[in-house]
Amino acid sequence: MEARRREARKRRIGFRGRIVGMHEAGQSIRAIANNLGISTRTVRRWIRRYSPENVFHVARSGHVTVNI
């Protein structure tokens, strides 16, 4: 089970990297979305999240672990 999760995570990270790489290569957001079959909103999200000024500074909501 753990190996499947690791593989799925690698695929997701690779997919996100592909979006960013296509954008850096000069493709438009609409072209990337059409090529990958995803929404322009998703493309914008990953471009913004992985932009150089935001890579380590983006605060995102998510599950918070509380140790008691």
**For the segment 8-64, what is each residue's pLDDT rounded down to a tens digit?**
887 888 888 899 999 999 999 999 999 999 999 999 999 988 877 665 545 555 665
Give me the pLDDT at residue 39, please.
95
Distance in angstroms (rounded) separating the CA atoms of residues 46 and 14: 12
Give me the pLDDT at residue 59, please.
56
The confidence band for 67, taking pLDDT boundaries of 50, 70 and 90, is: low
Q: Would you list the domain boundaries of the chain?
A: 2-49
Cβ atoms 20, 46 nearer than 8 A: yes
pLDDT tops 80 at residue 66: no
Q: Degrees (nearest 5) of the Cα angle 60, 66, 68?
A: 170
The domain over range 2-49 is classified in CATH as 2.40.160? no
Give me the pLDDT at residue 43, please.
95
| Cα distances (angstroms) measured from residue 9 to each of 2, 12, 14, 16, 27 | 11, 5, 8, 11, 25
